Amino acid sequence: APLVLRLVAASVSVAEKAGAIVRNVFNSGELGVVEKDGKNDLQTQADRSAQECIVQSLSRQFPKVTIIGEEEPTGETVDESHLETRLSEEVLKVVCPQNLQSVKDEDVVVWVDPLDGTKEYTEGFLDHVTVLIGVAVNGKAVAGVINQPYYNYKAGPGATLGRTMWGIVGLGAFGVERLVPPADKRIVTTTRSHSNKLVTESIEAMQPDEVLRVGGAGHKVLLVIEGKAHAYVFATPGCKKWDTCAPEAILHALGGRLTDIHGNALQYHRDVKHPNTGGVLATYSDHDWYLSRMPESVKAAVKP
């Protein structure tokens, strides 16, 4: 199978394993919280172990592919029980889009967020948490895998806990379906724990009927895909390439758009600076309307 398909097939299995690690750490009660850059930029044992699972599992199978993860390696010996080397059969049976069939190792960067929504994870907002593995080819997000370890956790004992979604631009997405949001109101989603004046000003400018302040970039893009929100608006730096690569690819695969707040495409090549300094705007429709509503003062402060 072509490299991109094998990478996605491996990432689906690896993301499921990482999702199980995220649940196990929470069940253990030993979150091992470390402040990286103040009380709103945390790392837990789940971030560390899930990152080890993903980066070690993928780098052993794809030694020539560049893999960039959010967390620093711990330097401890690798826990072999965290490795996952199976390939998802569901992925291997699809036909890879023509333009991605002959991609070479050196054209690829894999962006890994082992746990997106860490702050919310430590506060028990468990459905805000996702595991994100994005595949970029020549600087563009082309494929993504999202595992949501606590999907359905409020649905009662009969429900299956957790889900995995994946998509390839030009093919489509699986494990998640596009649902249309209410037509009679405008619902905007944004950060819950990283707000500031720019965020507030830009949200107000969109004249929303409702604002969903929730954790996780992956989670917020899922709200847009599944019609719970019309737009994800984040007009401040903060968010990084590993936060957006996988969600962007899946949203694009389903016909939506994710850009910075000026309408520029995000870049994902290996030398790019990690922060999305131009902010994030994700929509399904009316993208240009949201861009046009963005205040000039905010645009001047949030440059790509």
The residues that touch Mg ion, with contacts defined as CB under 5 A, are: 70, 113, 115-116, 118, 243
Cα–Cα distance measured from residue 291 to residue 45, given in angstroms and rounded to the nearest whole number: 38
Partner from ligand A3P, Mg ion, none binding residue 201, C-beta < 5-8 Å depending on class: none
- Active-site position among 113, 116, 118, 190: 118
Report what 293 binds from ligand A3P, Mg ion, none; CB cut-off 5-8 Å by kind. Answer: none
Region binding ligand A3P by CB under 6 A among candidate stretches 89-97, 139-147, 163-171, 186-194 = 186-194
Q: Is 39 exposed, middle or buried (0-12, 13-18, 19+ CB in 10 A)?
A: exposed
Distance CA 222, CA 224 (A): 5
The string of DSSP letters for 160-195 reads: PP-EEEEEETTTEEES----PPPTTS-EEEE-SSS-
Q: Is 302 helix (H, G, I), strand (E, B) or coil?
A: coil
Contacts of 239 (CB under 8 A, 6+ apart): 217, 275, 276, 279, 280
Which of 113, 127, 248, 260 binds ligand A3P (CB under 6 A)? It is 113
Tokens of 140: 């563009």
Q: How far is the CB of 256 from Mg ion (least distance, A)?
A: 19
Instruction: Compute the least distance from the CB of residue 170 to ligand A3P, in Å.
Output: 27
Q: Which range touches ligand A3P (CB under 6 A), out of 79-87, 110-118, 158-166, 294-302?
A: 110-118
| Catalytic residue selected from 47, 127, 243, 260 | 47
Residues of this chain that interact with ligand A3P (CB under 6 A) are 41, 70, 113, 116-118, 191, 193-194, 215-217, 238-239, 243
Catalytic residues: 47, 118
